[in-house]
Chain A
Amino acid sequence: MNFQDIHVRYGNKPVLNGVSFSLKPGALTAMIGRNGCGKSTLVGCVGGTVPYTGLITENGLPLAGMTRRERARLVAILPQVLLSPHVTVEELIGYGRNPYLPFGARFSDHDRQAVEWAAEITEVKPLWEKYVDRLSGGERQKVYLAMILAQTTPLLLLDEPSTYMDPGYEYGFMQMLSRLAHDERKTVLVVTHDLTQAFTVADQIVAMEDGKVIFCGSPERCAAEGITERLFRLKTHFVLEDGTRNTYFSQV
């Protein structure tokens, strides 16, 4: 997916000021930046809830020219604020099939298979008959992930998905996103404030500041260019332990 010169204004205030970058296909990209820098607004542009000028394309096709259903078959979005409706987990995941169902139609076998697959891959099958409004914050996040996976789109956009998760749950969740990108060949963009997870798991980092993308590249290059120092006054350190790259930060 390509973003070319995206501008958004709220009244006279520019929120996105010429955003341009590309998402790496089949990879996990983490988007970082201070509060209010325009990350969620950019997700809204892709989702069709925020009007913008500029061009967002997928395989050369502009998103703005697509119908809502075409867009929903291409990109699935997990917004920052998730509600807790009184429906079962099975029903909620089934909502992900909406872009494929004609007016008044029932589920086909293919729809049911997509729902089953999404539940299995996110390991939410044990929650199947529970009500969404009775789940913990972390469980709810996973169930919503299953719902957007049931959309069977090549692109996934997640806006701060680990807000309600404890560190262990968050680690497992990010690993799951990484597997989706690498094993299922999904293009995943996750907006996050957790720098450790972002630099440990992501293949690509996109850093935003004041409505602009100031960096797009590998975590190593992001560290080398001192992006976290500029944004958060934190220095990035990589440590290799038993072949695994770990990341920690120190205050500048």
Chain B
Amino acid sequence: MSSQVKKRMAVVYPLLVGLLVLSCALSLRYGSSGMGLKEAVSALLGQEGYQTQTLIMYVIRVPRTLGALLAGIGLSVSGVLLQTVTGNDLAAPNIIGVNAGAGFAVIMILYFLPLSYQLLPFAAFAGAFATTMVIVIASSRTGRDKTSIILAGIAFTAVLNAAISLLSLLDTDVLSSYNAFSIGGLSGVKTEALAVPAVLIGMSLIISLMLSRQLGLLALGDSMAVSLGVNVRQLRLAALLLASASAAAVVSFAGLLGFVGLVVPHIARRITTGVRSVLITSALCGGILVVLADLVGRIIAAPSELPVGIVMAMIGAPFFFVLLLRQRGGR
């Protein structure tokens, strides 16, 4: 990180951490059932006389807030890694088959084992990760460069999406269950279901930070990176696996949340430079965005709720567009 960016980030990081803490506090405080500030604090501390509120807090709000936080971090980190290794600003987890792979595995379970809902998170993770593996292996046959990864991703995604469409046409019940998964949401998320994804997302972030200097060299082009001592093929493979693990972990508990992995890295790059700093900033911004979007989804139509995926697209996309317009010509 340059000294100029270091100075800026000394202000921006604490600001983003503060915003993240505030977002989480708001997410715990507000929801479809009314709860005063005192009640919320008492429920969080598990004080006597607040059993109902404590139940709401620990069964609904804490898992949702943690889930939103993890989803934001996981998808943003995945997006940064994918955009860095493919050199393509439009890259997002769906480009390496995460969405199609998870969707295909889920619809297979819904179709062939309709009563096995408990298998869905595992199937989603396994489908997403396995599809990435297939895409990486297929693209390695043609050199594992940036273009072959994208082309292999498009081809495999098309095949899986065709299979998803076919299975959903055969059974309308499957279609409605699949739609709920494909929109993405955090209702019904349980704290226990977040443990493994949290480890995967945390590890992906830590290893990505350790690889950040070398990942930055990919922006100079493959031949320049090679002449600076980087094993480009291995680095690209490692980054793809980390991106896949991180996004697949999110899919396992939140379904197919679009938008975050694509847009958050762009927001981060308008604040800072260098892969390391972009990763940290994206993780913080992603966490803030999803936690707030989930909160809005819960209170805007209370007691009903809007899935976080819809809210994010409705609020986040115009916000991103305004950001683009304001900074037009700035970069």
Closest residue on chain B to residue A72 by CB atoms? B229
The one of A47, A90, A98, A133 that contacts B3, using a Cβ cutoff of 8 Å: A90
B190 within 8 A of A: no
Residues of B within 8 A of A96 (CB): 228
Residues of A within 8 A of B229 (CB): 68-69, 71-73, 98-99
Residues of A within 8 A of B331 (CB): 86, 131, 133
How far, in Å, is A103 (CB) from chain B's closest CB?
6
Chain A interface, number of residues (Cβ within 8 angstroms) = 35
Given contact pairs A83-B220, A101-B213, A88 touches B230 in the complex (Cβ within 8 A) = no
Residues of A within 8 A of B230 (CB): 68, 98
Residues of A within 8 A of B210 (CB): 103-104
B116 within 8 A of A: no
A98 and B273 contact, CB distance less than 8 A:
no
Residues of A101-158 whose CB lies within 8 A of B: 101, 103-104, 128-129, 131, 133, 151
A91 and B273 contact, CB distance less than 8 A:
yes
Residues of B within 8 A of A49 (CB): 222-223, 226-227
B226 and A68 contact, CB distance less than 8 A:
yes
Given contact pairs A68-B231, A77-B227, A98-B230, A85 touches B214 in the complex (Cβ within 8 A) = no
Given contact pairs A98-B214, A103-B210, A72 touches B220 in the complex (Cβ within 8 A) = no
Whole-angstrom CA separation of A104 from B223 in the bound complex: 22
Whole-angstrom CA separation of A90 from B1 in the bound complex: 8
Closest residue on chain A to residue B220 by CB atoms? A83
Residues of A204-242 whose CB lies within 8 A of B: none
Given contact pairs A72-B229, A98-B213, A79 touches B224 in the complex (Cβ within 8 A) = yes
Residues of B within 8 A of A99 (CB): 228-229
Residues of A within 8 A of B228 (CB): 72, 95-96, 98-99, 151
Residues of B within 8 A of A44 (CB): 223
Residues of B within 8 A of A61 (CB): none
The one of A48, A79, A83, A90 that contacts B219, using a Cβ cutoff of 8 Å: A83
A-B contact pairs, 15 of them (CB 8 A): A47-B226, A49-B223, A68-B229, A68-B231, A69-B229, A77-B223, A83-B224, A86-B331, A88-B273, A90-B2, A95-B216, A98-B229, A99-B228, A101-B213, A128-B2
Known: A72-B227, A85-B216, A128-B2. 7 other contacts (CB 8 A): A47-B226, A68-B230, A88-B2, A90-B4, A96-B228, A103-B211, A104-B209
